[in-house]
Chain A
Amino acid sequence: MATLLADQDLGAAIDTPEANPAHLVPTPAHVPADRIRPYPFVLGARTKLRPHSLVPAFHQGPEVFWAERAFNGVRGAWVPRTVELLHQVYNDNVHFSARGFAPFATMLGENWFLVPAEADPPLHAMLRAMVNPAFTPKRMAALEDKIRAYARDYILAFRDKGGCEFMADFAFEFPIKVFLELMGLPQERVTQFLAWEHKLLHEPDLDEVIAGTRAVVDYLREEIEDRRVNPRDDLITFGIAIEKDGRRLTDDELIGFCFNLFIGGLDTVSTNMAWQFLHLAEHPDDQARLRADPRLLPAAIDEMMRVYAAVATSRECVKETQLGDVTVRPGDKVLLSTFLGGRDPAAYDDPDRVILDRAPRHVSFGYGTHLCVGMHLARREMRIALEEFLREIPDFSLAPDADMTFYLAAIIQPVTLPLVWKA
């Protein structure tokens, strides 16, 4: 248990905001007290510790535990830590509902939900069949040159400077550019979208989160109305036009679809790229190996996505069921912590180690019917970013004076990532 920090040390090393008592949901009486574990990955929490160094300790504990404040910082949830149990929850649409895992509409007092991420069967299969054709591997392959051009724009802007702040100078904006391209939105909007994204995802103040959500939703609604009269070759027009068996997306489903693309496709890609670049900055051998053999990149990206998994989604129990040795009751939240599953010692040998050619199956894109619909695009963005960076930038490393801070939730992300190289 060498890596296990005592709870009191953890408390001092992690800056967790106080929960607003008005929003705090008490732990249900059926949760056994000995199953409640301290859980640092709470909305708004920050630390200077490496977040994934906190993971191995959980794998010495029970397969399922209860974490207070694990959901949105105000509500407790069951947390399964093994790939096997995560698969069980991902695959079980009878006892678990995806509705309400990202309650942005609720915060606005509106009725829509993320399409397709928050839909349950049988509606989910229909919605997913409607939107899937826009995200097939071949469709995404057609974007290769545009994505590469965006990546090169950013990289060439800092190549000769000997360093960059990877988050601000690349990771945040690059996926936004691709998103704006897909949605047919003006590229000049990139700064505006970045500001909204930060309000939504990293503001500890709920009023700011609501204001950010409001701004994005209002803007997307305007654009949807515009496409009704001015159809174009973009995903908003696609969403308006899709028809299956005489049924189209409702207004609520359309905003849910556009918002799902916004919430699912930007910060997640930024974050995974950050972990990949941080790993390579600190592991010159791995960096050299990928420079020598870029064909290894797809496997290496999957391996780094496993070891540095950053996302947790959730389900809500709708029918009593057994998860490992605990009974989960209707109304209980279940957190799907991919960063715990990614390092499950029962699923992976030497789980904390990056082995570039391991080519693992992982849960970092989820699993089952809700598997990330943008997976093929995300992989392409990450691969192109690495290809172009390794082509244009010489051996890079973490800036020696880097003072790193990390968000622990809603996504595990470095706040900044200063990289240096010999210009």
Chain B
Amino acid sequence: MARIIYRDADGTDHARDVPEGLSVMRGAVENDVPGIKAECGGAAACATCQVRVDAAWVDRLPAPEDLESSMLDEEDLTGRLRLSCQIFVTADLDGLIVEIPTTDR
């Protein structure tokens, strides 16, 4: 288990204990965290599970693979923007903070 902090668009924190091996997306969807649609179900195909990783955590996550990067808007050079379906929970991620942006569509 690792405790993941999901910060919604209003700034409210939703702390959830997520089993290791599950994606950060799955941890949100299965624990009623609002704002993460994850329409493709975790295949890095829809970009509706985008989160902004807290700056302090960016370097502690494995870098995104090509398919994930291709879904992220290139203007974002901070490396904070990620698909939460491609971040898999490990014990090291206990305390990870991800912000859920408002969806623009």
Q: Which residues of A contact B (CB under 8 A)?
A: 87, 90-91, 125-126, 128-133, 136-141, 244, 298, 361, 365, 367-371, 373, 375-376, 379-380, 383
| CB within 8 Å of A: which B62-84 residues | 66-67, 69-75
Question: Which of B41, B69, B72, B73 has its CB near the most chain A CB atoms (within 10 A)?
Answer: B41
**Are A136 and B67 in contact (CB-based, < 8 A)?**
no
B68 to chain A, nearest CB (A): 9
Q: Which residues of B contact A (CB under 8 A)?
A: 37, 39-41, 43-47, 66-67, 69-75, 103-105
Q: What residues of chain A lie closer than 8 Å to B41, measured between beta carbons?
A: 87, 90-91, 367-368
Could you name 15 residue pairs across A and B whose Cβ atoms are closer than 8 Å?
A128-B45, A129-B66, A129-B70, A136-B71, A141-B104, A141-B105, A298-B105, A367-B39, A368-B43, A369-B45, A370-B45, A371-B43, A371-B46, A373-B45, A376-B47
Q: A298-B105, A368-B43 are in contact. Are A132 and B37 (CB under 8 A)?
A: no
Q: What residues of chain A lie closer than 8 Å to B37, measured between beta carbons?
A: 361
**Are B105 and A137 in contact (CB-based, < 8 A)?**
yes
B83 to chain A, nearest CB (A): 11
What is the predominant secondary structure among interface residues of chain A facing chain B?
A: helix
When C-beta atoms are compared, the residue in chain A nearest to B74 turns out to be A133
Q: Give the complex CA separation of A132 and B40 in angstroms.
A: 14
The total of interchain contacts (Cβ-Cβ below 8 angstroms) comes to 69
Q: A128-B45, A136-B47, A376-B105 are in contact. Are A361 and B39 (CB under 8 A)?
A: yes
When C-beta atoms are compared, the residue in chain B nearest to A93 turns out to be B43
Q: What residues of chain B lie closer than 8 Å to A140, measured between beta carbons?
A: 105
Q: What residues of chain B lie closer than 8 Å to A371, measured between beta carbons?
A: 39-40, 43, 45-46
**Are A367 and B69 in contact (CB-based, < 8 A)?**
no
Interface pairs A-B: 9 shortest CB-CB: A132-B70, A138-B73, A371-B40, A371-B45, A129-B70, A369-B43, A129-B66, A129-B67, A368-B43
When C-beta atoms are compared, the residue in chain B nearest to A376 turns out to be B105
Q: Give the complex CA separation of A126 and B104 in angstroms.
A: 27
**Are A367 and B40 in contact (CB-based, < 8 A)?**
yes
A132 to chain B, nearest CB (A): 4
Q: Give the complex CA separation of A178 and B45 in angstroms.
A: 22
Q: What residues of chain B lie closer than 8 Å to A367, measured between beta carbons?
A: 39-41
Q: What residues of chain A lie closer than 8 Å to B72, measured between beta carbons?
A: 136
When C-beta atoms are compared, the residue in chain B nearest to A364 turns out to be B39
When C-beta atoms are compared, the residue in chain B nearest to A90 turns out to be B41
Q: A136-B72, A367-B40, A376-B47 are in contact. Are A244 and B105 (CB under 8 A)?
A: no
Q: What residues of chain A lie closer than 8 Å to B67, measured between beta carbons?
A: 125, 128-129, 132
Partner of B45 from the list A368, A380, A383 (CB cut-off 8 Å) is: A368
**Are A133 and B70 in contact (CB-based, < 8 A)?**
yes
When C-beta atoms are compared, the residue in chain A nearest to B76 turns out to be A138
Partner of B73 from the list A90, A131, A137, A361 (CB cut-off 8 Å) is: A137
Q: What residues of chain A lie closer than 8 Å to B105, measured between beta carbons?
A: 137, 140-141, 298, 376, 379-380, 383
When C-beta atoms are compared, the residue in chain A nearest to B66 turns out to be A129
Q: Give the complex CA separation of A370 and B39 in angstroms.
A: 11
Q: Give the complex CA separation of A130 and B67 in angstroms.
A: 8
Q: What residues of chain A lie closer than 8 Å to B70, measured between beta carbons?
A: 128-133
Q: What residues of chain B lie closer than 8 Å to A133, measured between beta carbons?
A: 70, 74
When C-beta atoms are compared, the residue in chain A nearest to B40 turns out to be A371
A131 to chain B, nearest CB (A): 8
**Are B73 and A136 in contact (CB-based, < 8 A)?**
yes
Q: What residues of chain B lie closer than 8 Å to A380, measured between beta carbons?
A: 105
Q: Give the complex CA separation of A403 and B37 in angstroms.
A: 39
Q: Give the complex CA separation of A138 and B70 in angstroms.
A: 12
When C-beta atoms are compared, the residue in chain B nearest to A365 turns out to be B39
Q: Give the complex CA separation of A131 and B45 in angstroms.
A: 11
When C-beta atoms are compared, the residue in chain A nearest to B44 turns out to be A369
B102 to chain A, nearest CB (A): 12
**Are B104 and A137 in contact (CB-based, < 8 A)?**
yes
Q: What residues of chain B lie closer than 8 Å to A91, measured between beta carbons?
A: 41, 43
Q: What residues of chain B lie closer than 8 Å to A126, measured between beta carbons?
A: 66
Q: A125-B67, A369-B40, A380-B105 are in contact. Are A137 and B45 (CB under 8 A)?
A: no
Q: What residues of chain A lie closer than 8 Å to B43, measured between beta carbons?
A: 91, 368-369, 371
**Are B40 and A368 in contact (CB-based, < 8 A)?**
yes
Q: Give the complex CA separation of A376 and B45 in angstroms.
A: 11
Q: What residues of chain B lie closer than 8 Å to A125, measured between beta carbons?
A: 66-67
Q: What residues of chain B lie closer than 8 Å to A361, measured between beta carbons?
A: 37, 39
Q: What residues of chain A lie closer than 8 Å to B40, measured between beta carbons?
A: 367-369, 371
B101 to chain A, nearest CB (A): 10
